[in-house]
């Protein structure tokens, strides 16, 4: 899947300077287009389960979620490695994950697991509020994103941005397209401005680092989540379930 060698140390140097780095033309575009078609048909035909959650658990079934709230509006598909489905998707992400570990050796932290996901931001509704990523106070999160859409043809306005080390807001989607990979330090604020246009919208795949523990099972995790946020999530899921009946 990776068709060109890259130098992890060069990427890391750029990230340490500005917060992000883009590796151009290193993935097979034909394979990415196959994955993209599967995702687009999945969001048309699959049943939507819970809203987007913060903490999947080991053994969970693959699922497609949709959230439309004050923080985000997106479809997110979860493709867990233990389910042995959608192998192409997981194979590509596991190769990119290996590269991420070379760029960020810190990601080899013993308690971190990763799972594969895709996100679809439909035109004229999709967005994600600005935020910083964290797993816990002592673990930094270094992310990668594989774009499966192109700004200019799939959507015209908005898209992924990062506030870089100088404080400048950089529209990443204006710099990347199919075949490229974005690496960034999740401690820099990032988000997705409302995606606008007439095509399929903005699509991406990436693997999310997490600790695979249900908040209910971990007093430490539960401490980090406010009661209000926890209850709101539970109520939202109950409401979604009720709506689908």
Binding-site ranges for Fe ion (CB under 5 A)? 133
Our CB check for Fe ion shows the closer of 2 and 221 to be 221
What's the Rg (C-alpha) of the chain?
17
Residue 131 CB, shortest distance to Fe ion, in Å, is 6
Contact 143, 97 (CB under 8 A): no
Our CB check for Fe ion shows the closer of 28 and 97 to be 97
Closest-by-Cβ residue to Fe ion is 133
As a whole number of angstroms, the distance between CA 46 and CA 54 comes to 21
Residue 128 CB, shortest distance to Fe ion, in Å, is 8
Our CB check for Fe ion shows the closer of 33 and 106 to be 106
Residue 20 CB, shortest distance to Fe ion, in Å, is 12
3-class DSSP assignment, residue 72: strand
Our CB check for Fe ion shows the closer of 60 and 133 to be 133
Our CB check for Fe ion shows the closer of 42 and 133 to be 133
Would you state the structure tokens that stand for residue 236, as one six-digit string?
A: 């939202």
As a whole number of angstroms, the distance between CA 84 and CA 14 comes to 35
Nearest C-alpha neighbor of 200 from the set 149, 141, 166, 164: 149
For 78, the enclosing helix (H) or strand (E) is strand 72-79
For 68, the enclosing helix (H) or strand (E) is strand 63-68
Residue 140 CB, shortest distance to Fe ion, in Å, is 13
Residue 17 CB, shortest distance to Fe ion, in Å, is 20
From residue 193, how far is each of 23, 72, 133, 172, 180 by CA, in Å?
22, 10, 17, 11, 20
Our CB check for Fe ion shows the closer of 105 and 130 to be 130
As a whole number of angstroms, the distance between CA 104 and CA 97 comes to 10
Residue 201 backbone class (left: φ over 0; alpha: ψ -120 to 50; beta: rest):
left
Residue 143 CB, shortest distance to Fe ion, in Å, is 7
């Amino acid at each position: 899947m990776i068709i060109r060698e890259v130098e992890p140390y060069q990427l890391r140097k750029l990230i340490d300077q500005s917060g992000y780095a883009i590796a151009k033309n290193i993935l097979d575009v034909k394979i990415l287009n196959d994955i993209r078609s599967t995702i687009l048909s999945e969001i048309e035909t699959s049943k939507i389960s819970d809203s987007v959650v913060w903490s999947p658990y080991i053994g969970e079934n693959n699922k497609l979620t949709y959230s439309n709230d004050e923080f985000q509006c997106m479809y997110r598909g979860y493709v867990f490695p233990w389910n042995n489905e959608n192998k192409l998707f997981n194979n590509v992400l596991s190769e990119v994950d290996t590269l991420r570990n070379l760029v960020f050796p810190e990601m080899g932290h013993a308690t971190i697991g990763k799972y594969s996901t895709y996100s679809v931001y439909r035109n004229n509704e999709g967005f994600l509020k600005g935020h910083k990523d964290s797993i816990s106070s002592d673990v930094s999160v270094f992310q990668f994103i594989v774009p499966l859409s192109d700004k200019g043809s799939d959507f015209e306005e908005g898209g992924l941005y990062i506030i870089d080390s100088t404080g400048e807001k950089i529209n990443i989607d204006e710099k990347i397209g199919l075949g490229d990979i974005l690496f960034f330090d999740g401690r820099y604020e990032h988000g997705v401005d409302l995606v606008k246009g007439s095509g399929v919208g903005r699509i991406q795949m990436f693997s999310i680092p997490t600790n695979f523990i249900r908040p209910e099972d971990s007093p430490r995790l539960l401490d980090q989540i406010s009661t209000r946020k926890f209850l709101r999530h539970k109520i939202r899921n109950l409401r979604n379930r009720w709506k689908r009946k």
